[in-house]
Every structure is written in C-alpha cells, then in structure tokens.
Amino acid sequence: MYRRYGGNPAAAIILIAADIAALILVLWIIFFVFDANRANDLVNWVHHSANWLATWSRDLFTPDNAKWRTVLNYGLPAVIYLAVAQAVAGRVNR
C-alpha cells in the first residue's frame, strides 16, 4: 500500500510543505467563490498568504469573471506546487 509521507523524512517535509501551500490556495479559492467575509481574521490571513504563494501567477489569466480568474490564478500554483513537490520528493527518496 502506498503511503504518501513514507520513506525519507526530508521527502515527507517537502510533501507536507506543498500540501500546506496548496491547502491555503484552495481555501482562498473557496472563500472567494462563496463570498467569505474579508473582515474575518482567518479569511484575511488566508487571503494574504495565498497572495504571497501565488505572486507569480496572480495576473496570468484575465477572464472577465472574477471567480474564474481566482480559480485559475490561484489554482494553477496549487497544482504546480503539488506536482513539483511530488517530483522532488521522489528524487529525494531514491
């Protein structure tokens, strides 16, 4: 049976960091799509963290619909972080 965090501890740290980054980005997408209260401290913290994590991709896509723009511009880095972490962790485990 495959265990995501099994093997080398360094690989596990890489995967956990990517999972946390992706979780923050996905949380921001959910908060934005469902119009979460931005005055809330948690929503505000997630928004600022997601902005930092997605600095390089925030204006990559520019559809007219703000919700689609958020899904694309914050979803892409989440997927890339997970894919790169998986590749790096695989190399570390070898």
- CA angle (3 as vertex; 75, 93 as ends), nearest 5: 85
> In this structure, is residue 36 part of a structural domain?
yes
Query: What value does the mean pLDDT take over residues 49-64?
Result: 94
Cα 3 to Cα 15, 19, 58: the distances in Å are 12, 14, 33
> In this structure, is residue 38 part of a structural domain?
yes
CA atoms within 13 A on the CB side of 26: 11
Q: Summarize pLDDT for 63-75 with one digit per residue, the tens.
A: 999 999 999 999 9
User: 72 lies in which domain range?
Assistant: 9-93
Tokens of 39: 């005055």
Q: In this predicted model, which residue has the larger pLDDT, 48 or 6?
A: 48
CA 33, CA 93: separation in Å to the nearest integer?
38
Domain count, the chain: 1
Residue 1: pLDDT band (50, 70, 90) is: very low
Q: Summarize pLDDT for 12-54 with one digit per residue, the tens.
A: 999 999 999 999 999 999 999 999 999 999 999 999 999 999 9
> In this structure, is residue 3 part of a structural domain?
no
Please count the other Cβ atoms lying within 10 Å of the Cβ belonging to residue 49.
16
